[in-house]
Chains A and B, each alone.
Chain A
Amino acid sequence: MSVDDATVRKIARLARIAVDDAQLPVLAGELNGILGWIEQLGEVDTKGVAPMTAVIPNHLAWRSDVVTDGDVQTRVLANAPDATSGFFAVPKVIE
């Protein structure tokens, strides 16, 4: 399977990365080089093989369902590019 310019545009939109139209063929070439190489996995017989879920057997630990942290609003907002009135501010989304 190889990707064309339209597919690259779609991938870029899904990934939320702005890409100039002029860059689409360049990216398509790079992605096809990598995808063509990884496609060799198709030749491995994996019938009856379970996909890996954990490399080291481990079980998820339980903990009490209690609040362990809080009252750190200023620290949470300290790195925000735009914080207003105790909130993260973003460009207007409702007309």
Chain B
Amino acid sequence: MTALTDLTLTAMQAGLAAREFSAVELTEAHLAAMAEARHLNAYIVETPEIARAQAAAADAALAAGTARPLAGIPLGIKDLFCTEGVQTTAGSNILKGFIPPYESTVSGKLLADGAVMLGKLNMDEFAMGSSNETSAYGKVISPWKASGSTRELVPGGSSGGSAAAVAARIAAGATGTDTGGSIRQPASFVGIAGIKPTYGRCSRWGVVAFASSLDQAGPMARTVADCAVLLTSMCGYDAKDSTSLNLPVPDFAAGLTGDLRGKRIGVPKEYRLDGMDATIAKLWDQGLEWLKAAGATIVDVSLPHTRYALPVYYIIAPAEASSNLARYDGVRYGLRVTPPGGNLADMYAATRAAGFGKEVQRRIMIGTYVLSAGFYDAYYTQAQKVRTLIARDFEQAWERCDLLLTPTAPSAAFAFGDKADPLAMYLNDVFTVPASLAGLPAMSVPAGLSADGLPLGLQIIGRPLDEAGVLDAGLAIERAAGFTARP
């Protein structure tokens, strides 16, 4: 018999509905697997008591016929989401011990739909990182190893705990957040699916803010259908987020067909980088063949400002972060460090020096500099203008195609310490950042393996609000790729 933890989320839904197993059994199987996999450091906090109570409630609802769609489904919640009564740190020392008195809208919607919370998932500090090496709670280790190697690999970031947990079967699915690729790149690194919806689809209320014009929550799970189920629950208008879109949310799972007849798939030529990894280039071509076989036609398109996306991102994201993170001052919550005889200003400075890690401090300072008097127009205003041009590139591409297919990341997962230079680390997000800057829905789907047996993802980017189209193309790739490799 297949272990309960190996089932897909949709298979768990079917098994629970048919009473083949109980929600309590499903949760216990996950809690036992979590105990076996603690060396991965995927969870910062495990919440077994909460999970058991929620599973028992799910069983009661299933028996009474009042079960909600996610009744009894065990999920991990990224530690960026405030969870009422459960420590939320954003992977930072400055929030150590912070117990939110409220629940984020997105995690609240999942719980209201019957989900079971297994715990809070580790992440790069304040979601700033692509490898999970910046967490104050220790790095997350990928469950994958390259063939013939014992080196520990990064799970990607910033949603690295979410990625590792789903890949290692210690969560059926997880919440992630994506500011410049933080759902898609880790999903690619560990061989799972993940979707960032259109900016404004998921409420940001109760999600610790990094760069508010880019931050978007989304699901990570082992299949496209699983992502569709979670996304349906997570999306929706919220008056508490001023950028939340007041639009109806389709049932993404019910609408999923994988049928691409009549769809035009764009191939942006600027994404074919010089010196691109040959396996990734080949997989990209293979992906286009798969989409063609599902009924799509392929067209070449150009996104001429692609090469400026990363520098734009590394002005706008730190600028917004420097403003958002000003709230961590040692007064209302979190860490406080007061030097002997120090005044209020000394307390602020000492608290922030002790509470923020190196990468976060670096980004706050970059953001402070680009927003400072005399430099604002040269850096920040210019970046927002180029951002307009990047968004315009996509708008022009949509005149010729319906979806775009690209690789998710320029490489497979790397080893810890391999990208010690901040710039080398930033370049890892080269394919994911442009869609973030334009607010577009985008997903990564596992499509193949590198020469040394590590997962590689392909990215589908869609028009604003066309999550359904993105998911359909994702399903077509998933079916054709038949990706069955596991750590």
Interface residues of A (CB under 8 A from B): 1, 3, 7-8, 11-19, 27, 30-31, 33-35, 37-42, 44, 46, 49-56, 58, 60-61, 63, 72, 75-76, 78-82, 88, 90-93
Contacts and interface: CB of A to CB of B under 8 A. Distances in A.
B391 A55 contact: yes
Chain B, interface SS category: helix
Contacts of B356: 17
A46 B314 CA distance: 18
Given A80-B332, A91-B338, A50 B385 contact: yes
Given A88-B332, A92-B343, A61 B246 contact: yes
A41 to B, nearest CB: 5
A41 B334 contact: no
A33 to B, nearest CB: 6
Contacts of A44: 305, 308, 382, 385-386, 389
B369 to A, nearest CB: 5
Contacts of A16: 326, 329, 345, 348-349, 352
Contact of B332 (A12, A18, A58, A79): A79
A93 B386 contact: no
A35 B366 contact: yes
Contact of A31 (B242, B342, B369): B369
B464 interface: yes
A56 B200 contact: yes
B99 interface: yes
A79 B333 contact: yes
Nearest to A55: B439
Leading 4 A-B pairs by shortest Cβ distance: A55-B439, A51-B384, A81-B336, A79-B333
Nearest to A3: B369
B148 interface: no
A66 to B, nearest CB: 13
Interface in B73-125: 97-99, 101
Contacts of A31: 362, 365-366, 369
Given A14-B372, A91-B344, A41 B362 contact: no
B254 interface: no
A54 B343 CA distance: 40
Contacts of B223: none
Contact of A49 (B342, B348, B389): B389
A72 B384 CA distance: 39
Contacts of B391: 52, 55
23 contacts: A1-B375, A11-B365, A16-B352, A17-B356, A17-B365, A19-B353, A31-B362, A31-B366, A33-B421, A33-B423, A34-B362, A40-B308, A40-B311, A41-B312, A49-B389, A52-B391, A55-B213, A55-B439, A78-B101, A81-B333, A82-B336, A88-B331, A90-B344
Interface in B191-211: 198-200
B373 to A, nearest CB: 10
Nearest to B311: A38
B362 A30 contact: yes
A53 B98 CA distance: 33
B438 A17 contact: no
A34 B361 contact: no
Q: Which of B350, B384, B438 has the largest count of A CB atoms less than 10 A from its CB?
A: B384
Contact of A81 (B200, B334, B381, B389): B334
Contact of A58 (B243, B308, B375): B243
Contact of A79 (B198, B334, B385): B334
B366 A50 contact: no
B430 to A, nearest CB: 13
A14 B368 contact: yes
B354 to A, nearest CB: 8
B331 A90 contact: yes
B438 A55 contact: yes
Contacts of A18: 346, 349-350, 352-353
B364 A17 contact: yes
B183 interface: no
* Residue from the set B368, B391, B464 with the largest chain A CB neighbour count within 10 Å: B368
B388 A51 contact: yes
Nearest to B385: A46
